[in-house]
Chains A and B, each alone.
Chain A
Amino acid sequence: MRLASLAIVSAGAMALPVQGGHMQRQAADVRLGERVDLRLGRTTVDRALAALSAQSGLSITAAPYLEDRVVVLEVSGLTVKATMDALAALNGWVWRQTGQRSFRLARPALRPPRTSSEVGAAMRRCLPLDLREFLGLEPPTAVSDGVPHAPLQRAPLAAMGARSALLAAAAARMSPGEDVPWSKLNPGERTLLLEALVFSLFRSEDVDLWSDRPGFHNLDIAWAFLELAMDEILTVSGESSSVRFPAFGANIYRGPGALNR
């Protein structure tokens, strides 16, 4: 098995060039082809990779921000490389070779958008795959009993549910003048707080942007037009041969900077 193949364990993976050391590379190649048994059950990415390192003799780690991710791992008789590939494929992560015998699991490199119309897709790529699936932003699994989840529909409910559950759990400890610091929250309460904060990010008003439907972010100026609604509201909208974009507007005769009639 060639080491070079590890560079393509996932789309977008980029291995650092290995300087010389042909023999060492061959040794790493051999180790990647060795078969491993990882019957770890529920574990973290960090612990899974520590076990994989121990069995393979390679240094296989995760970027610190991925170490706490929970996985269930039941692998028997697979190669080191196949196991690494599977862990990366599970969440759309990539492997980077950081030395002759060392590899690091990480999120794919950020690809900044070049135009406004690319921002929605770039924003989605920032989110972990499970969050995208939960939010209905991933087509393949956004189906529940045949009915697709409307994108972002779950976010406000999840935020509200997390806030309610957190308040119910912490109510007895809340009193004016007595703060409850993060360190005094139990793991369940911390998760609820994180959910309350994270899910608040996703407003229904931004659904076009997050799901890349026709919206203000991808309205090409060539398709844009202005209209005057009710004789005083200047609206911006757009229409192509196949798509009608939403409109937004402002009263041009009222408010700061308004025109005199």
Chain B
Amino acid sequence: MNDARPLPHRWTAQLGLLLVIAAPAWRAARAQTPGGSPGALDRPVHLAGRLSLADALRQVGDQAGVSAVADGAPLRASADVELRASARQALDRLGEVFDYWWSPGPGGIVLMRKRFHDPNERPQMHVPELKQWAEELVRVLRSIPYEADDRSWELMLRQLASTFTPEQFAVLKRKERLHASALTADQRRLIQLALATRAFAHPAAAGERLLAQMKAIHASRMIAEEVPTPSGGSGVRRLLVKHVAGQDASAVVAVLGEIDARLPQGGPR
């Protein structure tokens, strides 16, 4: 190979090539640094006062260059925080205070998610999202064959029993196991359908119900029905409260519970 260029030029070219190759990797590594900039999580921060999670994260960002995104809003709106520590320790402390865990995410940004250690913390509830995942759940459950009636598996087992040969019955009556391998193909299919119905019919019905409730939620209502009480009278009446989503026969009704309501002056209507 005849390379007429002087050696230093060749080295320069190779060095340039190396830089071209290495630069993206270096940039990526830098971008992946937890906190968003090199060593950000080890930088000192000072938090003091009554702070919301957002306030606290802003201060950590200002002082250490740490960027963060947290899912939802904590149940605890604010807390008294007094801390001089590294950004990493500050995030640990904020996680304890606001019931979040954290981890470095793409680009080094800190991701924070609820831990649900606090028994009163709840996941987010938004109607459009609920409707979306309920639809997907129903689609998943519709993709498998089973009977919609969630008690029909009992009928299937009785139907299966009606197909047993005397020999198969004899095995069962001897208290022995009758393995699927000793059954006919039709009998095995019946067991599979019974298994699927036992497993999926109720969750599917519940999913369909939730989807119907979410689709009709904006036109839904809570209703109260008076129920008789053993004592009767005494200025209080018992009400059964229900949620009704939809109209007439197709409405999905959910019982919410009973409450005692004071009778209006002038007695029962």
Q: Is the CB of A217 within 8 A of B199?
A: yes
Q: Is B191 an interface residue (CB 8 A)?
A: yes
Contacts of A249 in B (CB 8 A): 157
In the complex, 14 of the A-B residue pairs with CB atoms within 8 angstroms, ordered by the A residue number, are: A66-B128, A74-B57, A119-B143, A119-B199, A126-B133, A174-B241, A176-B226, A176-B239, A179-B221, A205-B202, A227-B175, A228-B173, A234-B158, A255-B154
Given contacts A39-B58, A85-B105, A182-B219, contact A236 B157 (CB under 8 A): yes
**Size category, A interface:** 35 or more
Given contacts A72-B70, A112-B143, A231-B173, contact A126 B137 (CB under 8 A): yes
Q: Is B243 an interface residue (CB 8 A)?
A: yes
Q: Is A79 an interface residue (CB 8 A)?
A: yes
CB interface residues, A 35-84, toward B, < 8 Å: 39, 41-42, 63-79, 81-83
Contact of A73 among B69, B159, B200, B226 (CB under 8 A): B69
Q: Is A9 an interface residue (CB 8 A)?
A: yes
CB interface residues, A 198-249, toward B, < 8 Å: 198, 200-201, 203, 205-206, 209, 215-217, 219, 221-228, 231, 234, 236, 248-249
Taking each of B52, B73, B198, which has the highest tally of chain A beta carbons within 10 Å of its own beta carbon? B198
Q: Is A122 an interface residue (CB 8 A)?
A: yes
Q: Is the CB of B222 within 8 A of A170?
A: yes
Q: Which of B2-10, B14-22, B79-87, B178-186 sits within the interface?
A: B178-186
Q: Is B41 an interface residue (CB 8 A)?
A: no
16 additional contacts, CB 8 Å, given A179-B244, A256-B155? A74-B67, A133-B113, A134-B122, A141-B101, A171-B259, A174-B222, A174-B241, A175-B224, A181-B222, A194-B127, A198-B210, A216-B198, A217-B195, A217-B200, A226-B191, A248-B153
Q: Is A127 an interface residue (CB 8 A)?
A: yes
Q: Is B246 an interface residue (CB 8 A)?
A: no
CB interface residues, B 64-94, toward A, < 8 Å: 65, 67-73
CB interface residues, B 151-191, toward A, < 8 Å: 153-155, 157-162, 172-173, 175-181, 183, 188, 191
Q: Is B115 an interface residue (CB 8 A)?
A: yes
A255–B54 Cα distance when bound, in Å, is 61
A175–B52 Cα distance when bound, in Å, is 40
Q: Is A257 an interface residue (CB 8 A)?
A: yes
B170 to chain A, nearest CB (A): 11
Q: Is the CB of B128 within 8 A of A197?
A: no
CB interface residues, A 162-187, toward B, < 8 Å: 163-164, 166-168, 170-171, 174-183, 185
Contact of A41 among B54, B126, B172, B213 (CB under 8 A): B54
